[in-house]
Amino acid sequence: MPFAEFLFGGARSGTELNGGTDQTTFALAAGGGVDVVFTKHLAWRFAQIDYLMTNFSGPLVGASSRQNNLRLGTGIVYRFGIRILRLPEPSSDRACSANPNLRIRRLQRCGYRSRECQRSG
């Protein structure tokens, strides 16, 4: 099952990464991949490919303050719960009110004067 993603937010670095002070800066990730679904809860992430961009500056990260990275991944995916919403089956009472011809046939079968049949239909 293919998927796509687009994430943005902040990234934080320490002095060991950029050679200056601690920084918090803008980060962006975009990509996608393919999951091979085995069961309702278990899948294999066949491939995930992401572009990751950060904007750290400092003497250890080079002249440009933008870092462009490619992230590749594969692995096992466990899904904690996928609920498939199903509409309830209509009861015979709802079918009678939605279809007046069905209600008339039901009343004819029970007899027009029967209160029990009129209450149920």
Query: 41-92, pLDDT tens digit by residue?
Result: 899 999 999 999 988 777 777 666 788 899 999 999 998 865 666 667 766 5
- Calculate the alpha carbon distances from 98 to 17, 75, 91, 93, 103 in Å: 68, 51, 11, 9, 9
4: Cβ–Cβ under 8 A, 6 or more apart, which residues?
31, 32
**For the chain, which residues make up each domain, given as ranges?**
2-78, 90-121
Average pLDDT over the chain, rounded to whole? 77
Kindly tell me if the per-residue pLDDT of 119 is higher than 70: no
pLDDT level of residue 5 (50, 70, 90 thresholds): very high
- Residue 85: per-residue pLDDT: 64
User: Quick check: pTM over 0.75?
Assistant: no
What does the pLDDT look like over 20-34, one tens digit per residue?
778 888 899 999 999
